[in-house]
Structure 1
Amino acid sequence: MSTTATEGTTARKWLLSYPTLMLGVFFVGPFGIMLAVSFFQRVESAFYKPAFVFSNYARLFSSLFLDNLAFSLYLGMLVAVISVSVAFPFTYLLSRMRMRTQTIWLVFLLSVLSLSEVIIAFSWSILLSRTAGVSNLLVWLGLMDHPVGLAPGFTAEVLGYCYLTLPYTVLMLYPSMSRLDPELTEAARTLGASPQRAFFNVVIPAMRQPIVASLILVFVFTLGVYLIPQILGNPEHWTLSVLITDQAVYQSNVPFAAALAVFLLLTSLALILLTFVLGARERIHTAS
């Protein structure tokens, strides 16, 4: 009996050691190397050399970085708000459909997730172009005088971001929305509330924690997107992820790019940790 228990304990240790090893090899190790490089010193004629300087982090307070950071945060918050605002009523209606219809929609959303960021960016670039874009259809319908090009531009960038993040937002809201008791809205309707008032006064407050968690996760996801701002946006609309690539590849300033990446990673981890805290509070509140 004791031999069987010992073998079970050993097996569990091996099972736990594998994800720990993978986490160390593919996350902790690369992050440690990136953190070390962020303190290296750039050499104009020789790439960079090992050192321990804080000049790369001091550059984080330069006007170039602060302007780019402010725009990246603004764009991330805007995309998060738009995505959640569109996904929330859609998910609510989806959760009230028949199970067969829900399955079809969920399969469709998962198929959209299979599209790469490159395909999405170039598709929106063509769709919003002046020569082959949707504005030509509006001209043919007589709604516009002449075709206009929206890509590259801020509008095209926001549309590309929202198209990319909308399926993720729906899938994040769907589990909580499907578990929402329909008797809550029925009780509100019985008390005389209209469907719109029941939605805003009952459904939204009940889904407060999932909404906040979705906003944070979409915001974090937006910070790491690289190709959409580069293809659909102008240089003044490039985000922090594009600035990191520009510094590392085109400016050959790997230490500063590493410092930017460390800052971006720590910011994302802090926001993800906040999401876990909100989720734990929701579970405690539900249990009580």
Structure 2
Amino acid sequence: MQQGNSFTRSIGLIPSSVMIGVFFLVPFVLIILTSVSVPSDEGDYQFGFSLVHFERFATWFYIERAFFSAGLCALIALLSLLIAYPFTYMLTRFGPRSQTLWLIYILAQLSLSEVLIAFSWQILLSRTGGIGNILAWVGLAESSFAMTPSAGAVLAALVYLAVPFSVLLLFPALSRLDRSLTEASRTLGASPLRTFFTVVIPVTRPAIISSGVTIFVLTLGAIIVPQVLGKPEHWTLSVLITDQAIFNFNMPFASALAVVLLIISGGVIVAVTKFSGGRS
């Protein structure tokens, strides 16, 4: 009977395995093959084995872009958690009706595309119709000024993009939190703030880690926001991949950069998983 159930579960995994193979493994293998391809006589490329595209990456410009991208996304993950975690914790203390309304609002934010968010923030931070114009109108600034393009604009827009995802990732763990733990802490004399830092955060640490890693990977692939709101020195590795693939028609080098981006994502996931597992 147990073997029959195991066989049934194995059969049920076949459709998902086929989907993973078709939509992930096949493109991934093609990217790997393209990244090590060799130039052809016609000026195109053909499958072979050459590390020339990875050698091109091994220059300070692209290495610095990789470090900048990783640092920016780590900062975005940290800021989004600092905003989303207290908000989600308070949200779980609301009644069912209020929670439903807030969750609908957050899901509506997720329906906004990166393009819409980028151009909305561009208007918000512009000289003519943005925050600078409002500050000049109320007398807090001498004249209107633009806040874009800048690294701060890129950071603010990506945090705005990431916070709803953080809330939805944290909500299940915080909503299932055993309230007897916080009540016991309060009974023993701990203040609400101390209970939050010594009980709530340690108990939900796995959700915090998984949310942070997810936001890191999500924002690492952002293209439109850095391109619209930032200067070239604020562009991430994803923007350079798009530039090489679409505008320079250099698919082998774009594939090599994509492999590097995947290595960064995988390295962060492995490092965080190992660190969190070691601590537990």
Pick from 216, 219, 231: which aligns with 1:219? 216
TM-score (norm 2): 0.90
Q: Could you say which residue in structure 2 is the equivalent of 1:231?
A: 228
Give the distance between the partners of 2:189 and 2:197, measured in 1 at CA.
14
Q: Deviations over 1:130-187 (max 9, x none)?
A: 1110221222222222111111111110011001100000111111111112222222
Give the distance between the partners of 2:138 and 2:270, measured in 1 at CA.
50
Give the distance between the partners of 2:40 and 2:118, measured in 1 at CA.
36
Shift in Å, 1:231: 0.8
Relative to structure 1, the CA distance from residue 213 to residue 123 in structure 2 (aligned partners, 3 Å threshold; closer, same or farther) is: same
Mapped contact 2:132–2:147 kept (Cα < 8 A): no
For the residue of structure 2 that corresponds to 1:177, the secondary structure is helix
Give the distance between the partners of 1:139 and 1:186, measured in 2 at CA.
49
For the residue of structure 2 that corresponds to 1:152, the secondary structure is coil
TM-score (norm 1): 0.88
Pick from 121, 129, 132: which aligns with 1:132? 129
Give the distance between the partners of 2:239 and 2:124, measured in 1 at CA.
23
For the residue of structure 2 that corresponds to 1:225, the secondary structure is coil
Give the distance between the partners of 1:52 and 1:167, measured in 2 at CA.
43
Deviates most, 22-31 or 161-170: 22-31
Unpaired runs of 5+ residues, structure 2, are: none
Give the distance between the partners of 1:133 and 1:86, measured in 2 at CA.
23
Give the distance between the partners of 2:212 and 2:6, measured in 1 at CA.
40
Aligned identity (percent) is: 44
For the residue of structure 1 that corresponds to 2:146, the secondary structure is coil
Shift in Å, 1:196: 1.6
Pairwise CA RMSD:
2.5
Question: 2:171 matched to 1:191?
Answer: no
Q: Could you say which residue in structure 1 is the equivalent of 2:104?
A: 107
Give the distance between the partners of 1:278 and 1:149, measured in 2 at CA.
42
Shift in Å, 1:272: 4.4
Mapped contact 2:81–2:212 kept (Cα < 8 A): yes
Q: Could you say which residue in structure 2 is the equivalent of 1:117?
A: 114
Question: 2:179 matched to 1:182?
Answer: yes
